[in-house]
């Protein structure tokens, strides 16, 4: 059975909580990799609010661009964790939460 957009969002948010509660580099990397995979899956799906929009519409393009930004932020945090800069990675993830919140207001 194909996973729904809602499932991908729950995975992203649950793993975000795991990331926030840990300082262990291995756990942080694992959480970020799971978040990245969930964001990539969600990017290919259509939110309920845009179901009637053509795939190439400006709204759908902006929706996908939002996921590009999320994935970029996840990659940036992952690179920082790999360099041992945990506090900086957590700051990037805080910025990611702002991106997520804006997207929720727009597409939910």
The pLDDT, as a whole number, for residue 17 is 94
Tokens 């926030």, residue? Answer: 20
Dihedral sign computed on CA atoms, order 83, 88, 90, 95: negative
pLDDT tens per residue, range 76-91: 999 999 999 999 999 9
Token pair listed for 2: 């194909």
The pLDDT, as a whole number, for residue 3 is 76
21-25, 37-41, 103-107: segment of lowest average pLDDT: 103-107
CA distance 101 to 9: 12
CA distance 93 to 50: 27
DSSP state of 48: G
Known binding-site positions for heme b: 9, 104
Over residues 43-64, the mean pLDDT reads 91
Known binding-site positions: 9, 104
Q: Assess if CATH 1.20.120.10 describes domain 5-46+54-107.
A: yes
pLDDT tens per residue, range 5-38: 889 989 999 999 999 999 999 999 999 999 999 9
């Amino acid at each position: 059975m194909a996973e729904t957009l809602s499932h991908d969002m729950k995975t992203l948010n649950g793993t975000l909580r795991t990331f926030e509660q840990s300082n262990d580099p291995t756990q942080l990397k694992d959480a970020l990799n799971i978040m990245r995979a969930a964001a990539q899956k969600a990017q290919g799906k259509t939110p309920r609010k845009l179901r009637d929009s053509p795939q190439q519409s400006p709204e759908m393009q902006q929706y996908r661009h939002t996921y590009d930004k999320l994935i970029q932020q996840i990659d940036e945090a992952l690179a920082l964790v790999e360099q041992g800069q945990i506090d900086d990675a957590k700051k990037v993830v805080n910025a990611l939460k702002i991106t997520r919140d804006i997207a929720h207001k727009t597409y939910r």
